[in-house]
Structure 1
C-alpha cells in the first residue's frame, strides 16, 4: 500500500481509504447505498487492514449515526492502529440547533461521533458543508478548542466552494487557529469540475485532496455502457438521487475510452477510473465504498500499477469539457496561469 502526506500536515495516509456510507442502510437515501451490518463490516475492515488500508471514513449523517456505530463496533480493540475521519454540519435532529457549524452544534456533534465510534479522538474531522449563517471565526475557534482538548487531531472541509475555503484558511491564519489540512471533494473521470478552482487552491494552500464518489456516483462501475440499461447496483435502484446530472453521450464517450484501455491492461472499468484519480495532482487519498467484499476486492485492484502516459492522455481527452467562466478564458494565458503538474 502506498502512503502519501495529507496536505502540509505531518500525517501520512494510504492512497485508498474505506468509506462507510454503505454501513447501516437506514433511511430512504442510504438504504439505496447498502445495508452492511456489524458482521459484514468486520469482514470488510479485516480485508482492508490485510491489504494495508488503515484509514476509514464516515459521517454522523450516514444512516443517522448507524454508520459510525457499526464502524466503531468493527474496529473495537484495534483503534490505536487505525485512522478515522468523520464529518459534521448536516442535520442530526429536528431541533433548530441540531444542524450547522455553530459552536453549540459542533461540540454536540463531535461528542456524539466519539460516543458512536467508541473512541476518545478523531484523526481527521471534516466540516461536511459550509454554513453561511455561522461566522467562520465561531466555527474555527470551536474546532481549534477541540483540537487543543485532544478530541480532534486534524481538520478538513468538504463541499465548500473556493472562496469559502479561502475565507476559512485566512481566518485560521489570522488568529493562529488550527487550519484545514484536507479537502474532501467529488472528483471523477465524469466529474472534473474540481480541477477548475478547488484543485489549484488546494495545491497552493497545502490541502491534501481526499476524493469521494470516485466512480462518478455509480456511473463508472462497468454496469453502464452505450446501448445497455443497468439492471443492478446502486444507480439502478435510484441511488443517484442528489448526484450530478451527466449527459448520456458524454458518459458513453468516457466509458468507451475506459473500455479500450481495459482491453489493453486487463483491468476493470472501476480500477482504471480509480487509478486515473491516483495520478492527479494533489490527490492524497481516494475514498472507496463497497456494498460487499467482492466490490472491495475490485477496488483494491486499482493500486500497485499505473496507467501509461498515453492512456492517461486518452482518458483526459475523452472526459474533457469546456469549463465555466473565467476558467475557459484563463486557458488562453497558460504562461501566467500555469496548470498543476500532470495536466
Structure 2
C-alpha cells in the first residue's frame, strides 16, 4: 500500500480509502467486520462514513433487510473497529436529514454538535479524525459552521475539517473565513470524480492544488462501470444502488475503451481507472465502496500501479471536456412527514 499526506495535516493516509455507504446492505452487518479487518491487513488506514449512511431507504436493494431493520453504517463500523480504532483514520460527515424535526439536518451549530455526539457514540470512539460538511447548507452562514467545527477541534472531539460536494468558490470562501477569523481551515474536499465524471477538474482541482487541500474522490469507478464491464449484467449497478438512473451509452462507450486499453497494457480496468485518478495532483486517496473482501483486495492493488505519460494521456483523452461542477444541495429525499 502507498500513502500520501492529507492536505496540510502531516497525517499520512492510504491511497485507497474504505467507503461504507452500503454497510448493512453489501456487505451485511455480519460481514463488515471481516471487510474492515481485511482493509487493515492490506495496509488501508483510512475509512469514510457518514451519519446518514446505511439505514436510509435510498440504500434499499432486493434481498437486503429493509431500511427500518438496518443499523446505521457508523454503528456497524464502530463495532468492526473495536480493538483496532487506533489503526484507522476515521472520516464521517453531517448535514443530511436524520429525523422528523425541521432542524434534524443542515450545518447549524445546533445540528453539528448533536451529530458529532451521535457519531462518537455510534463509532465507539472519543474523537473523529476528519469531519466533513456533507453538502453546502444555504440556510447557514459558513462562518457559523466553521466556528462550530473550530470549537469541536478545541474540545478534542474532531481533529480536522473537510468539505464535501462544495464547489471551488465555497471552498475558497471557507479558507478566507478561517484565515480572517483564525479558525481551523478545511484540509480536504470530497467530491465525485472519476475518468468519466471530471467536473472537479474545472475549478476545484486547481484551487485545491493552490491552497494545499487534498481531494478525496468518491465513486472513483463510476458505480463499478470502470472496474469491470460485468457490472452491466448485474440487476442493480451504478447509481441504481442509490435509487438513481443507470449508465448512459456514452459512459458505457468510455468504459469499453478503458477495458480495451487495460488489456493491451496487461492490467485490469479497475487498476487503470484508479491509477489514473491517483495520478491527479491534488488527489491523496480514493474512496472505494467495496462490497466484498475480494473486491477490496483487487482494488487495493491499484495503489502500486504507475502509468506512464502516454498511458495517462490516452485515458484523459477518452472523456469529454469536464462539465460544470454540480453539487447535491436540494437533491435527495424529502423530509419525512411530522407525526401527529
TM-score range, shorter chain: 0.7 to 0.9
Tell me the equivalent position of 1:241.
243
Q: Does 1:56 align with 2:44?
A: no
* Structure 1 length-normalised TM: 0.85
Q: Is the 8 A contact 1:68 1:117 kept in 2?
A: yes
| Higher RCO, 1 vs 2 (CA within 8 Å, ≥6 residues apart) | 2
Q: Is the 8 A contact 1:106 1:142 kept in 2?
A: yes
Partner secondary structure for residue 132 of structure 1 = coil
Quote how far apart the aligned CAs of 1:238 are.
2.7
Tell me the equivalent position of 1:129.
135
Q: Is the 8 A contact 1:218 1:240 kept in 2?
A: no
Where structure 2 has 5 or more consecutive residues not aligned to the other structure, the ranges are 56-70, 326-340
Partner secondary structure for residue 113 of structure 1 = helix
Cα distance in 1 for residues equivalent to 2:2 and 2:228: 25
Following TM superposition, the consecutive aligned residue runs of length 4 or more in structure 1 with deviations greater than 3 angstroms are 240-243, 322-325
With over 3 angstroms needed to count, the CA separation of the structure-2 counterparts of 1:240 and 1:98, relative to structure 1, is closer
Deviations 1:198-225 (A, max 9, x none): 101111111111110101133223126x
Deviations 1:122-163 (A, max 9, x none): 000000001110111111111100000000001000001122
Tell me the equivalent position of 1:99.
105
Cα distance in 2 for residues equivalent to 1:274 and 1:159: 20
Tell me the equivalent position of 1:231.
233
Alignment length (residue pairs): 310
Q: Is the 8 A contact 1:257 1:314 kept in 2?
A: no
Tell me the equivalent position of 2:3.
3
* Structure 2 length-normalised TM: 0.86
The Cα RMSD (Å) is 2.0
Q: Is the 8 A contact 2:199 2:322 kept in 1?
A: no
Quote how far apart the aligned CAs of 1:303 are.
2.1
With over 3 angstroms needed to count, the CA separation of the structure-2 counterparts of 1:299 and 1:322, relative to structure 1, is closer
Tell me the equivalent position of 1:218.
224
With over 3 angstroms needed to count, the CA separation of the structure-2 counterparts of 1:268 and 1:68, relative to structure 1, is same
Cα distance in 2 for residues equivalent to 1:301 and 1:42: 21
